[in-house]
């Protein structure tokens, strides 16, 4: 026979187990803030669609700078999707999402890439800021990013739809004028494993 006291404690334990997920289901606060980013960017920062950049393993200072740029309206080349989402983050949740995505694994490289793209990237001096050993503070990793996303960003910089908020550099003027050259660089970068 199970004593009443044991029965009560078993029921209490079951109640506790049942109560935790039930309250989590109804309490948005119980979800970590980065889950709100998962729909587009992937929970671990590896997105399924080239419209949404991979965030996994990106530099913390860069992610943070972009969130602030969306918040203060300096970056608006995303069709306005990000401003509403980041406005809903509480100030203390921003470092939490930055820490989460920057500490995930880098995305896996994809596609073939071409020697033309590699040569153009090299000749344009991009690596002096974006390379593994570059010292430019928080210039983003470009390797293993979606080619489609990189292509759009380079064209946006070139055509003035995106300006660099992180440094007073004529970034747009560094971009190739020809769309095919931009696509070649993007395909090359996307195919390179991040080191
Ligand atoms: C509904 C889709 C959607 C959701 C949800 C979303 N984002 Fe985004 N995010 C975008 C789009 C679209 C872009 C920019 C694409 C462009 O510039 O062409 C973007 C860009 C970014 C960038 C810039 C990355 C880079 O390489 O420059 C960061 C950082 C970012 N999002 C963080 C977040 C965080 C943090 C969350 C959750 C709090 C979030 N996003 C939720 C759609 C989304
Ligand atoms: C002087 C340093 C410097 C040089 C040179 C440079 N960049 Fe950048 N790049 C940056 C910085 C800083 C950012 C972040 C801009 C911002 O504030 O949004 C950036 C952002 C980018 C992004 C956006 C990445 C993302 O995740 O949204 C792309 C793409 C890019 N650069 C490509 C290039 C290419 C291609 C070249 C060569 C043609 C190049 N850059 C040369 C400093 C540099």
Residue whose CA lies nearest to ligand 1 atom number 32:
67
CB atoms closer than 10 angstroms to residue 47 = 22
* C-beta pairs of 44-51 under 8 Å, 24+ apart in sequence: 44/104, 44/105, 45/100, 45/101, 45/104, 45/107, 46/104, 46/105, 46/107, 46/108, 47/146, 50/146, 50/147, 50/148, 50/149, 51/148, 51/149
- 125: in domain: yes
Q: Which tens digit of pLDDT belongs to each residue from 96-128?
A: 999 999 999 999 999 999 999 999 999 999 999
- Note whether 88 and 113 are same-domain residues: no
- Note whether 112 and 194 are same-domain residues: yes
- Note whether 186 and 176 are same-domain residues: yes
175 lines ligand 2 (CB under 6 A): yes
- Note whether 130 and 191 are same-domain residues: yes
**The overall pTM is greater than 0.85:** yes
Domain total in the chain:
2
- Note whether 100 and 177 are same-domain residues: no
Q: First vs last Cα of the chain: how many Å apart?
A: 63
Could you tell me the residue range of the domain that residue 154 belongs to? 108-195
Closest-approaching ligand to the CA atom of 93? 1
- Note whether 86 and 127 are same-domain residues: no
Query: What percent of the chain is predicted at pLDDT more than 70?
Result: 86
Which value, in Å, is the radius of gyration of the alpha carbons in the chain?
A: 22
- Note whether 46 and 96 are same-domain residues: yes
74 lines ligand 2 (CB under 6 A): no
């Amino acid at each position: 026979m199970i004593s009443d006291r044991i029965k009560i404690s078993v029921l209490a334990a079951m109640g506790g187990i049942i109560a935790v997920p039930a309250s989590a289901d109804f309490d948005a606060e119980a979800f970590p803030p980065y889950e709100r980013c998962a729909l587009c960017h992937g929970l671990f920062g590896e997105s399924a669609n080239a419209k949404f950049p991979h965030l996994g393993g990106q530099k913390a200072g860069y992610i943070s700078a972009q969130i602030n740029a969306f918040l203060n309206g300096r970056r608006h080349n995303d069709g306005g999707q990000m401003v509403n989402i980041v406005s809903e983050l509480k100030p203390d949740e921003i470092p939490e999402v930055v820490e989460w995505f920057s500490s995930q694994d880098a995305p896996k490289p994809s596609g073939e890439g071409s020697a033309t793209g590699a040569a153009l990237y090299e000749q344009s001096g991009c690596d002096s800021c974006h390379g593994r050993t570059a010292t430019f503070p928080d210039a983003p990793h470009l390797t293993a990013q979606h080619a489609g996303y990189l292509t759009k960003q380079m064209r946006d910089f070139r055509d003035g739809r995106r300006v660099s908020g992180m440094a007073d550099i004529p970034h747009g003027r560094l971009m190739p004028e020809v769309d095919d050259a931009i696509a070649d660089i993007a395909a090359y970068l996307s195919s390179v494993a991040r080191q």
